Amino acid sequence: MYSKEQAANGGLPDDTWQTAKFCGPNGGNCVEVNLGTRGVIGVRDSKPVAGPVLVFEQAGWGGLLDAARAGRLDLC
């Protein structure tokens, strides 16, 4: 059973979110990643922490990272 906070975070523990080290001290326009404990990864905006969370399985997360590194996600 998830707590209210965990349910809002896609079922992920609230204390395990990590912000990118390039984000800076003020939070800025950053994303946070939660590597989870049940084989899932969560991604959210660092500002509205109660906002939506994208949840990926391990393979899906790996595919997303591979596509980003290869430049296949550029929208411009």
Place of tokens 């991604």: 43
Burial class (CB in 10 A: 0-12, 13-18, 19+), 75: exposed
**What are 35-56's pLDDT values in tens digits?**
876 778 888 888 877 778 888 8
**What are 8-38's pLDDT values in tens digits?**
556 676 678 888 777 766 656 788 888 876 7
Helix (H, G, I), strand (E, B) or coil at 65: helix
What is the distance, to the nearest Å, from the Cα of residue 46 to the centroid of all Cα atoms in its chain?
A: 9
